[in-house]
Structure 1
Amino acid sequence: MSGVEVKVEGLSKSFGRANIWSDVSLTLPPGEVSVLLGPSGTGKSVFLKTLIGLLKPEKGSIVIHDTDLVRCNESRLYDIRKLFGVLFQDGALFGSMNLYDNIAFPLREHTKKSETEIRDIVAEKMDMVGLKGDESKLPGEISGGMRKRAGLARALVLDPEIILFDEPDSGLDPVRTAYLNQLIIDLNAQTDSTFLIVTHDINTAQTVPDNIGMLYRKHLAMFGPREVLLTSEDPVVSQFLNGRRQGPIGMSEEKDTAQAEREMAEIDELSGLPPIKPQIEATKGLPERKAVARRQQRVRDMLHTLPPAAQEAIRRSQQEVADAQPRETVVGAAPYGRPGGEAPTEVLPRVGAPNRFDQPR
């Protein structure tokens, strides 16, 4: 399983006369974790449903594997949908089925695999999300966090190239959210699939994704690598990602212009950008996330176009990460620390120093 690029161009969606968003353009890089943010009611879940073809936009295109989902026929759309796995807000499990049958459902519905093959696949996916041994439990007998993980296991059984998460942290306490965030990173390391997460959780947005996008006032305010968004001086992006009251976003999404200007003046009195929180790393023993190197290269390529304060904050963040790395790393450890025979070893130099952004290009 590996990720695929999703290219969205000029997408617009309305319900009757109510415009949800217009002219949304972004590219989800293959194999990377992206997050879509925005105040409540900005159409983030609508975007997910449009992306998978459940809702049809009025304008624009969604291109996957050279196929435009907006204009293709139903047969081709059905095939493309098999590339997706979806984790819904509440897990969307069948209450009358135990976890095993819930997770096996897509395999029985969409494949001709034998029950023996299905059993092996379900066992593998349940082990990946930490539910081994809970096969016989019903959704009503488990916690909200377990239901989320069961829904995630079901989303994984067809080995999707794209996985969509609709507010996976909704209803979870901070501890369970932290565990779920680590699980998302670990799954990306193992599958290299393309992930898109809709969330309101600021800590998730700051520490999980490779890329961040934000919907605001019926448009996509910004989309790009995490370092760029986390150092952005755009008032909307900065206010949301830092969880501030001061800024253009109010209780009803927008604020009176005069009030917003007064609050922005308060912010202008503060100096410097807040530090960039480090991104969550995959659990020790799992494969290195390929997405990280790809994103860092894009940031290096565009660093000179960013404001000086953002450049300095990104350089400082990268140096802190480099300084925190061990000087030598042994390559070849078996996943989860399980014995895997004699693993080849290779000594690597300390990561970061030769690749700093301020190196001449």
Structure 2
Amino acid sequence: MGVEVSVEGLTKSFGSQNIWRDVTLTLPEGEVSALLGPSGTGKSVFLKALIGLLHPEQGSVIVDGTDITKCSSKELYEIRKLFGVLFQDGALFGSMSLFDNTAFPLREHTKKSESDIRSIVMEKLDLVGLGDAGDKLPGEISGGMRKRAGLARALVLDPQIILCDEPDSGLDPVRTAYISQLLIDINAEIDATILIVTHNINIARTIPDNIGMLFRKELVMFGPREVLLTSDEPAVKQFLSGDRFGPIGMSEEKDDATAAQEQELADAGIGGGGTKDDFSEIIPQVQPNPGMPERKASARHRQRVEDMMHELPESAQKAIRQSQEAEDEVRRNNAEAQERSGQSGGSQKVDTEKQFAGSNDNTEQFPAYRGGN
């Protein structure tokens, strides 16, 4: 099962530039969480702090009972084996084939035989639809394929914690949906704790159990996804809708003159270009494919939300109840479909390699709750 990651009072700066301060949140064991925020707010920096690649000025990061900000290098080395990381650009070794890139953690951290390594690597490459591309170099494939190869490498040690830095970048919308479904299926199979950094609002609405948002060097909020999606926090509403009118500007700090000018435009009935979707209408969370185990995290998450329900805003409570009812209906439908499939002798478990079929050519073009401050 995945392990809990507890962050308390974390502050990070580069020289005189403060990136974020006093960030406090807990990634519950085995649950899927997402971290949102405008570009340049330090989301990738936060991931690097979680695995000890960057050392914060203040605060603690406790992973499986060990504070990695204070532990020895030897202890940190062992803790890092719990993590699988999908970096934003894939971070593949350019001189190695996809097979060797994926095999690298196994050769570095285990004493497995080459035959065992081949079996594991091919399983992971098949999982992301790259079973026929193992001999290719990163420079010979599209950006989207490099991203999927990076995911295969992140999964090769069957990690207890998976960090994904913008898993959808370089992928078209269809393959983004497949990667999202794959993360949910992986969570169902190995019960890993997953944190996804993303700008993709559809992922944020349908994949995670919990959502947080960084803005103006602080964590605006973190908690059950329904809390953020129904929030009245101006920065949250603007980010979800993709509107240029609001506290988020081209630079993170919007000046008063720009804000006043935009308000005049809004008062004149001129729109800011954002979507008019009603995000307070909660879309049911994506469920594992038929034939996959049920997510153990779902029951734990529901119990945790029930325990904190009385602390949440009324709008969030209503959205959570509606979301739970919709998810229960989806589970019932999946169970009935699987039962019918079993009676007919068929199997509905999805072959991910077939899902990605046709994507291995080089012509791929589109490659606990904190209130607002």
Normalised to the residue count of structure 1, the TM-score between the two structures is 0.85
1:304 matched residue in structure 2 = 310
Determine if contact 2:43/2:197 at 8 Å carries over to the other structure.
yes
Question: Does residue 1:225 correspond to 2:224, yes or no?
Answer: yes
Quick one: which amino acid aligns to residue 306 of structure 2?
Answer: R
Aligned to 1:3: 2
SS of 1:180's equivalent in the other structure is: helix
Give 1:196-211 correspondences, 5 Å limit: 196-211=195-210
Are the structure 2 counterparts of residues 67 and 146 from structure 1 closer, same or farther at C-alpha, using a change threshold of 3 Å? same
Structure-1 separation of matches of 2:161 and 2:348: 23
Distance apart, 1:335 and its partner CA: 7.7
Distance 1:15 1:150, change over 3 A: same
Counterpart Cα distance in 2 of 1:315 and 1:166: 30
Cα distance, 1:41–1:7 mapped onto 2, change above 3 Å: same
Name the counterpart of 2:116. 117
SS at match of 2:11: strand
Q: Give CA deviations for 1:150-177 in whole Å, capped at 9, x if unaligned.
A: 1111111112111111111122222222
Equivalent in the alignment of 1:100: 99
CA contact (8 A) 2:11 2:22 kept: yes
- The structure 2 residue matched to 1:289, chosen from 263, 275, 295, is 295
Q: 3-state DSSP class of the match of 1:86?
A: strand
More relative contact order, 1 or 2 (CA 8 Å, 6+ apart)? 2
* 1:214-293 pair list within 5 angstroms: 214-256=213-255, 259=259, 262=263, 274-293=280-299
Q: Deviations over 1:241-281 (max 9, x none)?
A: 233333221221233458379499999xx9x8631122111
Percent identical among aligned pairs is 66
Contact 2:121–2:156 (8 Å) recurs in 1: yes
Flag the 1:324–1:196 CA change in 2: closer, same or farther, 3 A. closer
Q: Decide whether the 8 Å contact of 2:289 with 2:350 is kept in 1.
A: no
Q: CA deviation at 1:75?
A: 0.8
* 2:229 and 2:279 in contact (8 A); partners too: no
What is the aligned partner in structure 1 of residue 25 from structure 2?
Answer: 26
Equivalent residues of 2:12, 2:19 under 8 A apart:
yes
Per the alignment, residue 349 of structure 2 pairs with 336
Gapped regions of structure 1 (runs ≥ 5): 339-361
> Compared with structure 1, are the counterparts of its residues 193 and 320 closer, same or farther at alpha carbon in structure 2 (3 Å cutoff)?
closer
Given the alignment of the two structures, is residue 318 of structure 1 paired with residue 356 of structure 2, yes or no? no
Q: Tell me the secondary structure at the aligned position of residue 132 of structure 2.
A: coil
Per-residue deviation, 1:141:
2.6
Whole-Å Cα distance in 1 between the matches of residues 68 and 284 of structure 2?
36
* 8 Å CA contact 1:202, 1:243 repeated in 2: no
Structure 1 counterpart of 2:364: none
> Structure 1, residues 284-338: CA drift from partner, whole Å, max 9, x if none?
1111111222222222222233333332233233333444554764579778279
Distance in 1 between the 2:218 and 2:180 partners?
27
Secondary structure, in 3 states, of the residue corresponding to 2:318? Answer: helix
Q: Deviations over 1:96-120 (max 9, x none)?
A: 2221111111111222111111112
> Structure 2 CA distance, aligned partners of 1:21 and 1:97?
36
Counterpart residue type for residue 288 of structure 2: A
State whether residues 212 and 219 of structure 2, in contact with CA within 8 Å, keep that contact through their aligned partners in structure 1.
Answer: yes
Counterparts of 1:298 and 1:37, CA distance in 2: 22
Over aligned residues, Cα RMSD in angstroms?
Answer: 2.6
